[in-house]
Amino acid sequence: MTAIQKNTFSSLTPAQFAAIGTEFDAIRNRMRADLGERDAKYIRTMIKRQRQFEVAGRVMMMIPPVWPAGVAALSVSKILDNMEIGHNVMHGQYDWMGDPSLNSKNFEWDSADTSKNWKITHNYEHHTYTNVLNKDHDIGYGLLRMSTDQKWEPRFLANLPLTVLLHTFFQHFVAVQNLKLEEVMIYKTKTPAQLKEEFKPVWKKMRKQLAKDYVLFPLLAGPMAPMVFAGNVLANLARNIWACAVIFNGHFPEDVEQFPESVIENETRGQWYVRQLLGSANFSGGKLMHIMSGNLSFQIEHHLFPDIPAHRYAEIAPEVRAICEKHGLPYKTGSFSRQTLSTWKRIAKLSLPSGKSGKISPRMANEKLVVPMALAA
């Protein structure tokens, strides 16, 4: 049997882009019109459960026989806070409720990163320029080579160990992402004085988080301080590794595409939707997997509709897949382990000068194919 040839970004016509834009807009408008009590009840229930896990975890970590359960509960609390609550609330998914505590402008999370910086690097830069080289800093976080089109440098030989480091200290790497440390340490396009000034608000939030987990709560535990200190280390580590893995699986499996800057010139609504679609990937799992990933297991739907409450992505997904099939576009999904393996293969291949992995999409502009420089060479 001959495999069905899928459309690519460059093979779609302007009329097809327009039709795709109209169809995705229709889903978004219908969902926005349907927001109500079901969504409000969901997010308030999640917050209630997160707080219950946090209290239970912090108490149990002071009782030796149930210390492991306490660490597990605090880990769950931190993951819920960052993934299903913080990430989604700060996307403005619940601004319509009129609840100041759930408004994206006011919300602050249990992370070293300030909400203000996160909304710039993630909400604006990443979601506007998804997988566009030199525009989306999430492509390697200034640390890793994640694209064939990135010029190889000797430092990329450390791609794999640096990825382990990034997973381990993910909240802190995200906290300093807006500083773009590579501009000071490698490319010398920013001065140490500029970096010092930009770091002040970041350090203020980092210091608050470190004091809470490693000074305040251990002191409150009295003689159990070492156990609480160690439990907080492990809970933060669990949250860091899980959050980083979820995000990497959503954008870096080998079949996820990246784009040259030319793709965003005069980009239409339909082209924006298709770029989000081709630049993201899902992973499968049960309801618990979806909740613990902040429903970023539906990364495709999240990038198409970032301001729709994430718990609705599961019901939107069949419609998105049907639109993909109708227009011959790939819908990239797989098990968590498959997407993880594919991501690490990409990272390993790109650590080498000759390494190639992933795909750079050219674009159609004015009916003429524009080929990225790296592919034309």
- What SS3 string covers 231-249? HHHHHHHHHHHHHHHHHHH
**What per-residue confidence (pLDDT) applies to 152?**
94
**What per-residue confidence (pLDDT) applies to 336?**
98
Long-range contacts of 229-234 (CB under 8 A, 24+ apart): 231/57, 231/61, 231/67, 231/70, 231/71, 231/74, 232/61, 232/74, 234/71, 234/75
Q: Please give the Cα distance from 209 to 233 (Å, whole number).
A: 12
CB contact at 8 A, 132 and 258: yes
CB contact at 8 A, 304 and 321: no
CB contact at 8 A, 236 and 78: yes
Q: What is the mean pLDDT of residues 2-23?
A: 83
Note the Cα 339 to chain centre separation in Å: 14
Q: Tokens 């994206």 sit at which residue?
A: 104
Q: Nearest to residue 330, comparing CAs of 370, 279, 284, 296? A: 279
Q: Please give the Cα distance from 309 to 306 (Å, whole number).
A: 8
Note the Cα 360 to chain centre separation in Å: 20
**What per-residue confidence (pLDDT) applies to 137?**
93
Q: Please give the Cα distance from 373 to 360 (Å, whole number).
A: 11
User: Which of 7-11, 167-171, 198-202, 372-376 is predicted least confidently?
Assistant: 372-376
Q: Please give the Cα distance from 87 to 257 (Å, whole number).
A: 24
Q: Please give the Cα distance from 49 to 238 (Å, whole number).
A: 18
Q: Please give the Cα distance from 295 to 284 (Å, whole number).
A: 10
For the segment 27-38, what is each residue's pLDDT rounded down to a tens digit?
999 999 999 999
- The 10 Å Cβ neighbour count of residue 346 is 26
The yes-or-no verdict on residue 373 having pLDDT over 70 is no
CA distances 251 to 70, 140, 171, 180, 281, Å, are 32, 11, 18, 20, 6
Note the Cα 274 to chain centre separation in Å: 18
The β-bridge partners of 370 are: 363
Rounded to the nearest 10 degrees, the angle between the axes of helix 67-79 and helix 37-60 is 150
Q: Please give the Cα distance from 226 to 211 (Å, whole number).
A: 15
Note the pTM of the prediction, 2 decimals.
Answer: 0.90
Q: pLDDT-based confidence at 10, cuts 50/70/90?
A: confident
Q: Please give the Cα distance from 88 to 84 (Å, whole number).
A: 6
C-alpha angle 177/180/185, rounded to 5°? Answer: 130
The yes-or-no verdict on residue 7 having pLDDT over 90 is no
CB contact at 8 A, 61 and 228: yes
Q: pLDDT-based confidence at 375, cuts 50/70/90?
A: very low
Q: Give 294's Cβ-side CA count (13 Å radius).
A: 29
Q: Please give the Cα distance from 279 to 299 (Å, whole number).
A: 10
The yes-or-no verdict on residue 48 having pLDDT over 90 is yes
* Terminal-to-terminal C-alpha distance of the chain: 35
Residue type, 283: F
Pairing of strands 368-370, 359-360: unpaired
**What per-residue confidence (pLDDT) applies to 125?**
94
For the segment 86-138, what is each residue's pLDDT rounded down to a tens digit?
999 999 999 999 999 999 999 999 999 999 999 999 999 999 999 999 999 99
